[in-house]
């Protein structure tokens, strides 16, 4: 033998053991829905996780069983994650904002044996119970009721539990995507993929996490593993601050009271926080970095945060990529750039960290050049990218070369920076040319008086499709369609300007806070423009 390295598998239990051993006193703070606050630390979370593993084994759970969580962000949810994976189970995070038929389908398809849920969701669970075919045990995360509670189960154990061992490629997590057609599809995460993802996520050119960081993940734990932050923060020993409600005032107060340095969420949550700050006090406290993902961030949002001295990290990913795909890394000449040049860079979705590869291809599958102009279908591959959906009889969803088609349309610039131009189904095709609905609506959000904007393509006899811009006004705003178009004239190409601006009271959103473009396309499919 020439020698070599130890054969130690990469498992989630390694992460929580490290956090407890090396960063045990670092705080885990939860602000609950009732306004109360509890405090633990990484050592306490690790202890509760072992106790919960014991409790699950007493309930008859075994390796590979799916244990569902129906909950918001809090310390009990965090401990349950580590306890479930530690006993060999699979954490199935469920989005409580989905429709009833989707929830029933997901839990039955996953064959969940245990369901943990927040007290706030008890009415939903009561309405679903009779339709759930495999759930044997119901556990309350908080409050009191007719079910055993997480705290009661863990307090009854002594924590003398050895983590279940196994291969690093065994499953540890399950998250379903709310697809555009058909039933949701399950993405099964492995111990190995989550550990590698967590190590990468904390790097300086990624989220720059350390034991001095204070992370407030606004992105829900049911949304693509809260972007992997509960694992990355355990690796780095960062303090975590959780809120069981995503209210602008509550979140802002936590930023100030807990000394939050890092936070992460979709654009809509930042808009809610801005609204509260504008009505009260504009104070970012110790906030250093904001990670924005889920959908493209409007330029005005990026500008506001950057002017306040906050490091904005624009990221792209999806459930199928665990979810990090690209990260808004700064180029070496960052300090030499003007403010507008810096914003131009951050508005793009960034570059790939080690472990991920991307490419864009044309309709015939030919790889397109990285010239910042050639737009095509975005493909991705790597060790934390989906190979096959959970219990999907159609088989692998990648080719022999492992490239996964994301459904996004993008360009890649010469330096490797990727820029999403649209979802393939959302591109507005006008006169044989493509109009990016994302860029158009993000430009519109910068217009004074605009709260939200969505652009959809509607029928035109000459151009095939033309943009209809739907606008939600800010409260009290005095705004006309002409005002919006005038604002856009130097922001987008002339032929991108909407043929019509329509003001609406609200826009539909997905369960993760994105604008539900599918519903808008259906609603306006027969709409007739005055110019048509």
Specify whether the CB–CB gap between 447 and 407 falls below 8 A: no
Distance CA 489, CA 443 (A): 10
What is the DSSP code string of 151-215?
HHHHHTS----PPPP--TTSEEEEEEE--SSSS-EEEEEEHHHHHHHHHHHTSTTTT---TT-EE
CA 4 to chain centre: 38
Catalytic residue (one of 177, 249, 473, 491): 177
DSSP 286: T
214-217 and 262-265: which strand pairing? Answer: parallel
Number of helices (H), then strands (E), belonging to the chain: the values are: 15, 23
- Is 320 designated active site? yes
Distance CA 430, CA 491 (A): 18
Find all residues with CB under 8 Å of 250, minimum gap 6, and list them. Answer: 31, 243
User: CB burial class (10 A; 0-12, 13-18, 19+) of residue 4?
Assistant: exposed
Specify whether the CB–CB gap between 275 and 418 falls below 8 A: no
Q: Which of 204, 190, 161 is nearest to 388 (CA)?
A: 190
Find all residues with CB under 8 Å of 201, minimum gap 6, and list them. Answer: 207, 209, 227, 228, 229, 231, 232, 324, 353
- Is 531 designated active site? no
Catalytic residue (one of 157, 320, 441, 465): 320
Catalytic residue (one of 63, 429, 474, 525): 429
- What values do phi and psi take at 204, rounded to 5? -55, -40
3-state secondary structure 470-523: EEEECCCCCCCHHHHHHHHCCCCCHHHCCCEEEECCCCCECCCCCECHHHHHHH
Q: Which of 306, 304, 297 is nearest to 348 (CA)?
A: 297
DSSP 431: T
- Is 434 designated active site? yes
Helix (H) or strand (E) holding 346: helix 339-346
Catalytic residue (one of 111, 249, 288, 434): 434
Find all residues with CB under 8 Å of 520, minimum gap 6, and list them. Answer: 454, 456, 470, 507, 508
Specify whether the CB–CB gap between 85 and 12 falls below 8 A: yes
Instruction: Enter the tokens of residue 316.
Output: 């792209």
Question: What Cα–Cα distance (Å) separates residue 63 from each residue in 91, 172, 447?
Answer: 11, 10, 54
- Is 177 designated active site? yes
Question: What are the catalytic residues?
Answer: 177, 320, 429, 434
């Amino acid at each position: 033998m020439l020698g070599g390295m130890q054969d130690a598998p990469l498992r989630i239990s390694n992460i929580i053991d490290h956090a407890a051993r090396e960063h045990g006193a670092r705080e885990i703070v939860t602000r609950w829905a009732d306004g109360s606050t509890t405090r633990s630390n990484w050592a306490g979370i690790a202890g509760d996780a072992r106790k919960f593993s014991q409790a699950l084994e007493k309930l008859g759970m075994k390796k590979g069983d799916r244990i569902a969580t129906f909950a918001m962000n809090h310390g009990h949810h965090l401990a349950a994650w580590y306890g479930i994976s530690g006993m060999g189970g699979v954490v199935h995070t469920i989005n409580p904002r989905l429709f009833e038929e989707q929830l029933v389908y997901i839990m039955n398809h996953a064959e969940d044996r245990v369901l943990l849920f927040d007290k706030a969701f008890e009415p939903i669970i009561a309405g679903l119970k009779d339709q759930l075919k495999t759930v044997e045990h119901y556990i309350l995360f908080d409050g009191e009721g007719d079910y055993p509670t997480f705290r009661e189960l863990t307090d009854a154990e002594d924590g003398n539990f050895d983590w279940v061992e196994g291969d690093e490629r065994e499953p540890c997590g399950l998250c379903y995507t709310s697809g555009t057609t058909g039933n949701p599809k399950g993405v099964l995460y492995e111990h190995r993929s989550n550990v590698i993802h967590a190590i990468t996520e904390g790097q300086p050119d990624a989220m720059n996490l350390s034991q001095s960081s204070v992370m407030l993940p606004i992105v829900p734990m049911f949304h693509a593993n809260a972007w992997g932050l509960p694992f990355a923060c355990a690796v780095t020993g960062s303090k975590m601050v959780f809120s069981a409600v995503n209210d602008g005032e509550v979140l802002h107060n936590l930023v100030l009271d807990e000394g939050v340095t890092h936070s992460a969420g979709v654009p809509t949550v930042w808009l809610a926080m801005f609204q509260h700050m504008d009505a009260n006090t504009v104070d970012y406290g110790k906030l250093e970095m904001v990670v924005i993902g889920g959908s493209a961030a409007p330029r005005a949002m990026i500008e506001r945060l950057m002017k306040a001295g906050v490091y904005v990290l624009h990221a792209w990913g999806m459930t199928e990529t665990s979810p990090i795909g690209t990260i808004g890394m700064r180029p070496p000449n960052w300090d030499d750039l003007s403010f507008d040049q810096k914003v131009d860079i951050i508005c793009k979705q960034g570059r790939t960290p080690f472990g991920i590869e991307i490419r864009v291809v044309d309709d015939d599958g030919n790889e397109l050049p990285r010239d910042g102009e050639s737009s095509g279908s975005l493909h991705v591959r790597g060790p934390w990218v989906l190979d096959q959906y959970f219990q999907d009889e159609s088989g692998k969803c990648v080719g022999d070369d492992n490239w996964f088609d994301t459904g996004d349309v993008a360009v890649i610039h010469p330096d490797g920076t990727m820029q999403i131009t649209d979802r393939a189904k959302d591109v507005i095709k006008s006169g044989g040319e493509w109009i990016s609905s994302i860029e158009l609506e993000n430009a519109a959000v910068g217009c004074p008086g605009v709260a939200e904007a969505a652009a959809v393509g509607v029928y035109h006899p000459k151009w095939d499709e033309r943009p209809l811009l739907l606008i939600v006004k800010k409260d009290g705003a005095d705004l006309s369609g002409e005002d919006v178009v005038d604002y856009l004239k130097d922001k987008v190409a002339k032929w991108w300007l909407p043929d019509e601006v329509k003001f609406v009271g609200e826009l539909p959103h997905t369960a993760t806070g994105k604008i539900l473009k599918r519903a808008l396309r259906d609603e306006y499919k027969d709409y007739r423009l005055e110019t048509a």
